[in-house]
Amino acid sequence: MIIKCKLKLLLKPGKATPTPPIAPILGQYGINLMNFCTKFNNLSKNIKLEIIHVKIILFNNLNYEIILGNESLTKNIKNFLNIEKFSNKPKLENKHFIDFDKINIISLNRNNFEKKKISSVRKMVLGTLISVGINYE
């Protein structure tokens, strides 16, 4: 089968409804919204996370495949560092500091990420830390 497009969404597991934000995104590609919502809700009913990454691979014959991901990297960092809120002005106000060893610990759990090289995962973690206002030493 030929792939028409790949879509990435952030959805609450088990709570998809054919309303915005799902309807405008999937409707423009001709995906049956009710079928998608029931299929997604059945796949994700046992997941206890708040929001997950979802990839939808749409084929030319309007069949699609749903691939469930994990939590976002920022959520993992919040949980790992026990932070409730990141900085509102990341470049100007940096609230928290982190050791480089902790960055390696976050990076070692690379099964959660698409990238398989540890150096690529480490760069991704460092970029995310800078963008949310956490300095590293």
Higher pLDDT, 111 or 105: 105
In the chain, CATH 3.30.1550.10 sits at 3-68
The model's confidence at residue 122, banded by pLDDT at 50, 70 and 90, is: confident
Superfamily of chain region 73-136: Ribosomal protein L11/L12, C-terminal domain (1.10.10.250)
Can you read off the two tokens belonging to residue 127? 């970029």
pLDDT of residue 130 exceeding 90: no
What's the mean pLDDT when you consider all of the chain? 85
The model's confidence at residue 107, banded by pLDDT at 50, 70 and 90, is: low
Task: Supply the pLDDT for residue 112.
Answer: 63
CATH architecture of 3-68: 2-Layer Sandwich (3.30)
pLDDT of residue 86 exceeding 90: no
Higher pLDDT, 57 or 92: 57
Task: Supply the pLDDT for residue 113.
Answer: 66
What percent of the chain has pLDDT above 70?
92
